[in-house]
């Protein structure tokens, strides 16, 4: 941005005067940080939306709406459908494919199978990129540390040429090296926090979906028995 200070230990000066490996480490960490923040926000929106849609669908489902109408609506507006709605749609479609007089046990098995498949897909979608956050959170401190160690190594190697070494000789090198650690931590801390948060959110959603699947299969079984 503004190239304000180039006085003594400005950020720009420190970064630009760092050795190549340290600069590469910094670049890597910057990309990792950008990506992890991107995923953090994406996941935040996605999970928030999933929770909202699940709430709405459960409300309408338990209010006793006709299952056929519900299915029609879910199949008609797939773009807007939430995960739970999709699980319901998959199960109900499988259920309606069977005709009366078929074995109820086999019918419910295939219905459950379809719902589980949809559930797996949805969970997969919800949990996507969480592993990236976990990786960034656990690895980037080490990457930053590597950059720091490398920078300090160089600082001390340059120090060996001097007869009289003072702290002022090592200070810039160490400062520039420590920037790498700072960046690593800056990337890691939000990633770890977000990972933990989103992991618990998705596991909560997963239990909700699973219990909904059980309840739906019970409902469908009763309905099949009536036929």
Q: Is 166 in the site for other proteins (CB under 8 A)?
A: no
Shortest Å, Cβ 97 to other proteins: 11
Main-chain dihedrals φ then ψ at residue 219, nearest 5 degrees = -60, -45
CA nearest neighbour of 188 among 29, 15, 24, 41: 29
Shortest Å, Cβ 192 to other proteins: 16
Burial of 175 (0-12, 13-18, 19+ CB in 10 A): middle
Residue with tokens 């939430």: 82
Q: Which of 32, 94, 111, 122 binds other proteins (CB under 8 A)?
A: 122
3-state helix/strand/coil string of 106-123: HHHHHHHHHHHHHHHHHH
Residue with tokens 């299915």: 71
Shortest Å, Cβ 226 to other proteins: 27
Please report the DSSP string for 115-168 in residue order: HHHHHHHHHHHHHTTHHHHHHHHHHHHHHHHHHHHHHHHHHHHHHTT-SS--HH
Shortest Å, Cβ 220 to other proteins: 19
Q: Annotate 80-97 with b (16+ C-beta within 10 A) or e (fewer).
A: ebbbbbbbbbbbbebbee
Q: Which of 19, 21, 24, 44 binds other proteins (CB under 8 A)?
A: 44
Task: Please state, as a whole number, how many other Cβ atoms lie within 10 Å of the Cβ of residue 12.
Answer: 13
Shortest Å, Cβ 10 to other proteins: 5
Q: Is 33 in the site for other proteins (CB under 8 A)?
A: yes
Task: Please state, as a whole number, how many other Cβ atoms lie within 10 Å of the Cβ of residue 41.
Answer: 11
Site for other proteins in 2-21 (CB under 8 A): 2, 4-5, 7-11, 14
d(CA 147, CA 127): 31
- Which CB sits closer to other proteins, 40 or 213? 40
- Which CB sits closer to other proteins, 11 or 69? 11
Site for other proteins in 49-108 (CB under 8 A): 49, 78-79, 81, 86, 93
- Of 32-40, 60-68, 98-106, 132-140, the segment contacting other proteins by CB under 8 A is 32-40
Q: Is 132 in the site for other proteins (CB under 8 A)?
A: no
- Of 1-9, 56-64, 66-74, 145-153, the segment contacting other proteins by CB under 8 A is 1-9
Q: Which of 34, 65, 102, 162 binds other proteins (CB under 8 A)?
A: 34
- The footprint of other proteins (CB under 8 A) covers 1-2, 4-5, 7-11, 14, 30, 33-35, 37-42, 44-46, 49, 78-79, 81, 86, 93, 121-122, 125, 186
């Amino acid at each position: 941005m503004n190239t304000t200070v180039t006085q003594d230990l400005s950020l720009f000066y420190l970064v630009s005067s760092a050795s190549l490996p340290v600069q590469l480490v910094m670049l890597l960490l910057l990309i990792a940080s950008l990506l992890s923040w991107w995923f953090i926000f994406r996941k935040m929106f996605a999970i928030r939306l999933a929770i909202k849609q699940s709430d709405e669908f459960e409300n309408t489902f338990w209010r006793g709406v006709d299952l056929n109408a519900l299915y029609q609506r879910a199949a008609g507006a797939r773009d807007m459908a939430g995960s739970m709605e999709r699980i319901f749609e998959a199960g109900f479609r499988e259920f309606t494919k069977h005709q009366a007089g078929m074995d109820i046990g086999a019918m419910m098995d295939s219905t459950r199978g379809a719902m589980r498949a949809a559930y797996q897909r949805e969970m997969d979608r919800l949990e996507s990129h969480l592993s990236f956050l976990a990786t960034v959170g656990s690895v980037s401190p080490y990457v930053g540390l590597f950059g720091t160690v490398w920078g300090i190594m160089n600082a001390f190697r340059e120090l060996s040429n001097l007869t009289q070494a003072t702290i002022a000789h090592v200070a810039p090198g160490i400062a520039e090296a420590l920037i790498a650690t700072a960046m690593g931590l800056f990337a890691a801390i939000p990633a770890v926090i977000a990972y933990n948060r989103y992991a618990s959110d998705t596991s909560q959603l997963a239990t909700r979906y699973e219990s909904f699947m059980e309840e739906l299969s019970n409902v469908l079984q009763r309905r099949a028995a009536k036929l």
